[in-house]
Structure 1
Amino acid sequence: MSHLLLYPYRGSGHIIPMLDLTHHLLRRGLTITIMVMADDIPLLNPLISLHPDYVHTFIYNEPKVTPSPHSSPFAKMNSTQKLFGPIVQWFHSHPLPPVAIVSDFLFGWTSELASHLGIRHVVFSPSGAFNFLIMCRLWRDVEEIKDNVREGDENFFLALQEIPNSPRFPWWQVPGLLRDYKTGDQDCESFRKGILANMTSWGIVFNSFEGLESVYLDHMKKFMGHDRVWAVGPLLPEEHGQIDVSGRGGSSVVPLDKLVTWLDQKPDESVVYICFGSKVVLSEKQMSALVGALELCNVGFILCLKESGSSSIPSGFEDRVGDRGFVVKGWVPQLAILRHRAVGSFVTHCGWNSTLEGITSGVMMLTWPMTSDQFANAVLLVDQLGIGKRVCEGGPEILPEPVELAQLLEESLSVDRPERLKIKKLSQTAAEAVKQGTSTVDLDAFINLVSKI
């Protein structure tokens, strides 16, 4: 029976889909060891209870960071390379060591680890193939790109013509790690080396599906020079499966039955769900614009936000909107909410997990990307697939106009909007992919190849 070592990045957008992948691998008879810190063990408990004999943990402590000037994000990621020795020691002492390591794309250094151990290296991308291609292109040519960007020219456009559909992005939308890259800095160079190593890996697993990104998956195979590119998503718990979606990713600050009771009282597709992920905290100005729009419009809504300092929900807001709104301050079971019949649209930061959850739930997306891969995901949703509409995009000082946003919230629930019709069709395609379709075929192909090693 094949044994795999899985190494997820700790962020919720990374570890949650990796654990969903783990569930599928365990169901197909593989033995899995997952590298986690002790604080993340509770996230594994559902898998451990279902597969006690086949899921194991490699518990490690967060390596200490000794950053060089101006490169702490790189140093933090590079510090994980200190686990090289402990993993080698564990591997050689194991009676049935793994035949491959499946690691998050941020841990490209594990390619060298796999080579040292004589096992396969598989990249796991929690984001889509479109964004992955963009990142490959930008990291490959980062020195040339930075030479061409004039100091302070935030609107300098990058044209990535070798990628299908020739995406173009202004410099301010490029992820922070790329913007912070400094030629010659040891931490920057070490991290870039790992990202480039991903491009020579034995295989790559995407949390995506053929019907969503076929053109980019095909291009990825050409880019990698082989067909070991598997799209196995959307990696989500089944609606009535063994894994309880209410606890996926953490404990809800509001009991799910309370949310469901509130939603049960609403007509079908009459509620807008608003959430910006687990990390985003709106600026005071953004918060003001958003709640202003919610007071102006006449739709039901669930507003899920993190509060911090001055960025808090204004006093009296909940009283003014009454039962029309449900406000949550903290983590909620997002997938369970989106799957409820009463939810019709989703204001989202366009993180990939949220993107897939919105697609599979068949709700129109109102996009508000702020950082990282979110801008690329919004382009995919709005410009290429036509299943979303832009609300806003950018950092803390970029604001939607409250009157326009209020109108868009109301229009998003109209049954005849073309975006709603398209998302319903794509949702069905996603469901077919994971039942007995392309994603099942790809997952089986991956497992068959691994089992023959």
Structure 2
Amino acid sequence: MSSTHILVFPFPAQGHMIPLLDFTDQIIRSRNAGEITITILVTPKNLPLLNQILSVHPSIQTLVLPFPSSSSIPLGAENAKDLKPNSTSDLAMMRAVGGLHDPLIKWFRSHPSPPVAILSDMFLGWTHRLAADLGIRRIVFSPSGALALSVMFSMWRDLPTRRDPNDQNEVVSFGGVPNCPKYPWWQLSPLYRSYVEGDPDGEFFRDAFLDNLASWGLVVNSFGDLEGVYLEHLRKETGHIRVWAVGPVKPIEQSGPTTRGGPSSVSADSITSWLDKCDDLKVVYVCFGTQAVLSNDEMEALALGLERSGVRFVWSIKEPAEAHVEGGYGRVPQGFDDRVAGRGLVIKGWAPQVLILNHRAVGAFLTHCGWNSVLESVTTGVPILAWPMGADQFINAALLDQLKLAIRVCEGEETVSDSVDLARVLVESVREDDRAERQRAKQLREAALRATVNGGSSVKDVESFIVHLVALGVATCK
């Protein structure tokens, strides 16, 4: 039997790449996977991020294309984590990666058995038109949740505006989305707030999301009991049933957790040993994802809050690049490590987040509310202390409010938290074992487990997705 060949195309940012690679692993492990051939496209410096999945699935092919030259991307940078934090870094990376269009066309047309579909990240909307030119299907992979995606589609399609162009607090609503989410203008995507009709960059980003909406299929890293109303809304918006909720996608097995995102200052074994010495539910885990780097003022306020609280904590800090340091970001206050020695563990670089959240000692998670972190909190049953900063994080935080899963600690990437208030919240988060957020977290953890076992809603959606893929291959062979 001939196999169905698909091209998997991740966006070069760890928070995007890792869930798509995990989903690719899920595809291969599912029934009928023997009928599918997979090629993953990356640029040279992102190839090491495939080491884990390639070691587990050596049958996967790789397509390594040179990173396109771009005046907006520093020489040698090929991943969003290497860019200075600002509102345009994702757009600059999107535009640069768009330069792979012509090399991809050339590869497809010279391949003896080219893919019948492209499974690509939501930031690669241009691959929809590329697929159409090639006469194949494009499927969107969304590392964001269904509510966030619904708001993004509504925003870029309908282009809501403010009555007062100077009022950053004016509330914008998205009436077509269930429960009518409302957000102050400043919480919308900075790329949207800076959008000017006719501007090439703005139109490129808008076209990407309109193309996502027009694509043949949509895969969302979520599950029905968490976002059922929004998943159903996406089916109505796309006008078809090819919307698959496959989450929470599970981490790839059979590899050390520290290999997933790069080097770390503390080994996984050392982290586990440290946590083993702590009481149940008394440790706060602090992490703001793989891209966010706090300003030095925010770093100082957070460090002071942790210090004043007296709670045990693990603080994962993204290693700042040279551009971060020069811009006043990412500096740990002098002497902090010594002052909290024994009570706090500071990890610089990649942290094995799932391992940490799964430990019995962790009782709360202070997070930026990136969707991957939200799902990892849900699957481990750890309540959230929410500090959304940008992108889809305010939308995710609003969903957490709806679910009664989080306590809002601070808002915004330019906001410096009050260290006294922060210390109080940290203490309260690990004081009460039966607080409402903890009980709700346990309920959602059980729902996530039900979705991802045999017969669960997400497993069924993965199987449905594969059936549709195989059918594409059969149709191509006829």
Which band: TM-score by shorter chain?
Answer: over 0.9
Q: Is 2:365 the counterpart of 1:353?
A: no
Contact 2:218 2:244 in 1 (8 A): yes
Aligned equivalents of 1:387, 1:317: Cα separation in 2: 31
Report the secondary structure of 2:144's partner residue.
Answer: coil
* Residue 25 (structure 1) shift: 1.5
Q: Which amino acid aligns with 1:313?
A: V
Equivalent residue for 1:260, pick from 272, 277, 282: 272
**Deviation per CA, 1:390-444, whole angstroms, max 9, x where unpaired?**
0100122x22222221121121122011000110110111112111200000000
Q: Which amino acid aligns with 1:60?
A: L
Contact 1:71 1:180 in 2 (8 A): no
Match of 1:59 in 2: 64
Aligned equivalents of 2:349, 2:171: Cα separation in 1: 36
Match of 2:82 in 1: none
Contact 2:41 2:65 in 1 (8 A): yes
Match of 2:139 in 1: 122
Q: Which amino acid aligns with 2:170?
A: F
Show the 5 A alignment for 1:214-363: 214-237=228-251, 241-306=253-318, 307=320, 308-309=324-325, 310=328, 311-363=330-382
Report the secondary structure of 1:411's partner residue.
Answer: helix
Relative distance call for 1:76 and 1:320 in structure 2 (3 A) is closer
Report the secondary structure of 1:323's partner residue.
Answer: coil
Q: Is 2:471 the counterpart of 1:452?
A: yes
Contact 1:71 1:188 in 2 (8 A): no
Which one is further off, 404-413 or 100-109? 404-413
**Deviation per CA, 1:147-187, whole angstroms, max 9, x where unpaired?**
x3533321111011111111101111111111121111123
Q: Which amino acid aligns with 1:197?
A: D
Question: What TM-score do the two structures reach when normalised by structure 2?
Answer: 0.89
Which one is further off, 420-429 or 274-283? 274-283
Report the secondary structure of 1:272's partner residue.
Answer: strand
**Deviation per CA, 1:85-136, whole angstroms, max 9, x where unpaired?**
2222212222222111011111111111111111111011011010000000
Show the 5 A alignment for 1:185-200: 185-200=199-214
Relative distance call for 1:287 and 1:82 in structure 2 (3 A) is closer
Match of 1:85 in 2: 102
Aligned equivalents of 2:95, 2:445: Cα separation in 1: 38
Identity %: 47
Match of 1:380 in 2: 399
Report the secondary structure of 2:45's partner residue.
Answer: helix
Contact 1:230 1:442 in 2 (8 A): yes
Report the secondary structure of 1:443's partner residue.
Answer: helix
Report the secondary structure of 1:380's partner residue.
Answer: helix
Contact 1:71 1:187 in 2 (8 A): no
* Residue 329 (structure 1) shift: 2.3
* Residue 251 (structure 1) shift: 2.7
Report the secondary structure of 1:3's partner residue.
Answer: strand
* Residue 140 (structure 1) shift: 0.7
* Residue 14 (structure 1) shift: 0.4
* Residue 74 (structure 1) shift: 4.1
Equivalent pairs, count: 443
Report the secondary structure of 2:38's partner residue.
Answer: strand
Aligned equivalents of 2:310, 2:274: Cα separation in 1: 17
Aligned equivalents of 1:346, 1:285: Cα separation in 2: 21
* Residue 65 (structure 1) shift: 2.7
Relative distance call for 1:48 and 1:73 in structure 2 (3 A) is closer
Aligned equivalents of 1:245, 1:361: Cα separation in 2: 16
Q: Which amino acid aligns with 1:38?
A: P
Match of 1:38 in 2: 44
Match of 1:391 in 2: 409
Relative distance call for 1:111 and 1:421 in structure 2 (3 A) is same
**Deviation per CA, 1:179-234, whole angstroms, max 9, x where unpaired?**
12111112322332222111111110001111110010011111111110000011
* Residue 316 (structure 1) shift: 2.4
* Residue 281 (structure 1) shift: 1.9
Aligned equivalents of 2:238, 2:262: Cα separation in 1: 35
Q: CA RMSD in A?
A: 1.8
Equivalent residue for 1:434, pick from 452, 469, 474: 452
Aligned equivalents of 2:286, 2:445: Cα separation in 1: 19
Aligned equivalents of 2:335, 2:107: Cα separation in 1: 56
Aligned equivalents of 2:245, 2:231: Cα separation in 1: 8
Aligned equivalents of 1:79, 1:12: Cα separation in 2: 17
**Deviation per CA, 1:246-272, whole angstroms, max 9, x where unpaired?**
322223221111111100111111100
Report the secondary structure of 1:154's partner residue.
Answer: coil
Relative distance call for 1:72 and 1:315 in structure 2 (3 A) is closer
Question: What TM-score do the two structures reach when normalised by structure 1?
Answer: 0.94
Match of 1:367 in 2: 386
Aligned equivalents of 1:24, 1:232: Cα separation in 2: 9
Aligned equivalents of 1:71, 1:314: Cα separation in 2: 28
Aligned equivalents of 1:411, 1:186: Cα separation in 2: 49
Q: Is 2:166 the counterpart of 1:152?
A: yes
* Residue 76 (structure 1) shift: 4.3
Aligned equivalents of 1:61, 1:411: Cα separation in 2: 50
Q: Is 2:90 the counterpart of 1:50?
A: no
* Residue 358 (structure 1) shift: 1.1
Which one is further off, 368-377 or 301-310? 301-310
Contact 1:246 1:336 in 2 (8 A): no
Report the secondary structure of 1:88's partner residue.
Answer: helix
Q: Which amino acid aligns with 1:172?
A: W
Aligned equivalents of 1:10, 1:214: Cα separation in 2: 29
Contact 1:129 1:217 in 2 (8 A): yes
**Deviation per CA, 1:56-100, whole angstroms, max 9, x where unpaired?**
111112222357xx9886454234333222222212222222111
Contact 1:105 1:125 in 2 (8 A): yes
